[in-house]
């Protein structure tokens, strides 16, 4: 009999969704361990290593016990562990509404089509923009979301140019502009979006940080 599939897990917790178009929705977060990127603004460096090895069955049991109907699989970079794809499928199979938060540096083509993919396109301010896998844009569906974390005005102008160059509005996916926490004033970013009349952009802040601060597990 084959060994059960496992994943390295940093934490599983229940909170409010702090980002994306489901902001404010009670959510179970499954945070996988490990990430090949080192973004300057990363707020989950504690997930780079450590964690605990759990079977997919154990993960599903923990998620069920927490009771939410919406599940977000995040990291680190969840797709760095190949069994993440199986976890996403199994979560969908048992009836959860599921989203995946991914850096966009790894292939998303095999992600279950029922999963809402939130792809974080890395800006120059992240110092990891050279890792963007532009082929991933071919696999986005209308339900999916594209996120830019904006560190400064240069990042903002760059993100606008990417939206134009790749015609992101034609994809139908939500386009999110988010100020890097405590690096760019949310008001500055909001003012730029309004001044430029970027009607295709949804401004967002990290709600959870404004409620609880920059701490793990919320």
Per the domain annotation, does 1 fall within a domain?
no
Q: Rounded to whole angstroms, how far apart are CA atoms 97 and 101?
A: 14
Domain of 34, in residue numbers: 6-212
pTM above 0.85, yes or no: yes
Residue 176's contacts (CB-CB under 8 Å, 6 or more residues apart) are 19, 20, 21, 145, 146, 147, 148, 201, 202, 203, 204
Q: Is the model more confident about 109 or about 21?
A: 109
Q: What is the CATH number of the domain that holds 71?
A: 3.20.20.70
pLDDT of residue 48: 95
Per the domain annotation, does 218 fall within a domain?
no
Per the domain annotation, does 83 fall within a domain?
yes
Q: Residue 121: is the preceding peptide bond cis (ω within 30°)?
A: no
Per the domain annotation, does 217 fall within a domain?
no
Per the domain annotation, does 20 fall within a domain?
yes
Structural domain total, the chain: 1
pLDDT band at residue 216, thresholds of 50, 70 and 90?
confident
Beta strands, E only, the chain? 6-16, 26-32, 52-55, 70-74, 97-102, 116-121, 145-150, 174-179, 201-203
Per the domain annotation, does 114 fall within a domain?
yes
52-55 vs 6-16, strand pairing mode: antiparallel
Average pLDDT, integer, range 122-147: 96
Per the domain annotation, does 134 fall within a domain?
yes
pLDDT of residue 35: 96
Closest C-alpha to 101, from 87, 88, 115, 119: 119
pLDDT band at residue 82, thresholds of 50, 70 and 90?
very high
Q: Is the model more confident about 49 or about 216?
A: 49
pLDDT exceeds 90 at position 59: yes
Q: Which residues on neighbouring strands pair with residue 15, listed in sequence order?
A: 27
């Amino acid at each position: 009999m084959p060994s059960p599939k496992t994943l390295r897990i940093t934490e599983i917790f229940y909170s409010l969704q702090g980002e994306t178009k489901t902001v404010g929705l009670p959510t179970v977060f499954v945070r996988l361990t490990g990430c090949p990127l080192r973004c300057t603004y990363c707020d989950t460096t504690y997930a780079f290593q450590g964690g605990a090895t759990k079977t997919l069955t154990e993960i599903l049991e923990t998620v069920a016990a927490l009771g939410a109907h919406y599940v977000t699989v995040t990291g680190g970079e969840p797709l760095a562990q190949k069994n993440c794809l199986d976890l996403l499928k199994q979560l969908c199979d048992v009836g959860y509404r599921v989203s995946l938060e991914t850096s966009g540096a790894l292939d998303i083509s095999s992600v279950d089509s029922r999963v809402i993919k939130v792809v974080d396109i890395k800006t120059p301010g992240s110092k990891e923009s050279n890792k963007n896998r532009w082929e991933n844009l071919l696999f986005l569906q209308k339900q999916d979301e594209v996120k830019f974390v904006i560190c400064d005005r240069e990042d903002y102008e760059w993100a606008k140019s990417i939206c134009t160059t790749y015609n992101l509005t034609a994809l139908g996916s939500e386009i999110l502009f988010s100020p890097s926490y405590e690096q760019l004033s949310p008001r500055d970013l909001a003012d730029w979006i309004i001044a430029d009349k970027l009607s295709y952009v949804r401004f967002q802040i990290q709600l959870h940080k404004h409620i609880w601060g920059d701490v793990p597990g919320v």
